[in-house]
Structure 1
């Protein structure tokens, strides 16, 4: 158990600054708020009919889905590289769902479905964010040997 715990928390690189760049903080806040709202709506029994995934899940599934987003937000704050890859994959899935919505429900539904994945994708692909999640991040302005 201790070894697994070390692996989980030590995947963040030691050379990384202690605070994440502002886009990562913004992304984490958005994920905390979104996941928290999904959990609250599931617990009070209202459910969420806005999202493509949450509308198909029962209340307990929606709560787990919200918890996934809260956990992902925390992993992004810690600088875990797998979390960025998972978030990028979820963004592309969300954009694919928006494309399906374009043909099935029209442009208004497609845009509504694509807003958040596109926002997250823009935040995740900023150069400072990519550098921060890199295997060997370099301080800003310095170059790696051989570049």
Structure 2
């Protein structure tokens, strides 16, 4: 059920979200009302069948500019869709359904999987995922806060 706009929580143009089903406690997402669908960075994708169902196995670098941390995921494929990127290029991508958590609220969303290594964000949260749930303040960021960073000791 959709809430009245004034009662919807507000998020910024970038937020940290959790993808608990994928074992990702925090990933920085660009909130993009210009994009219909949401997308998640994935590489080494492998589509296969198990017990009569389509699955995808893939890896994620959940932290921007950090190729050392890798999360491996295996999940059912919800759909295969042709998606047009912001540059106008069309590609066929697997779609998964998973839970996203933001501001203490969790709900299922559809995510297309694509290699976003060259993009500024590992995840794009499109308008379909937010419709009726969140308002976007394009001049603000991180209404949900930032995860604490581990301090790295530098060698002298």
Pair in the same fold by TM > 0.5: no
Structure with the largest fraction of helix: 1
Larger Rg: 1
Q: What TM-score do you get using the length of structure 2 for normalisation?
A: 0.28
Q: What TM-score do you get using the length of structure 1 for normalisation?
A: 0.29
Q: Which one scores higher on RCO, CA 8 angstroms, separation ≥ 6?
A: 2
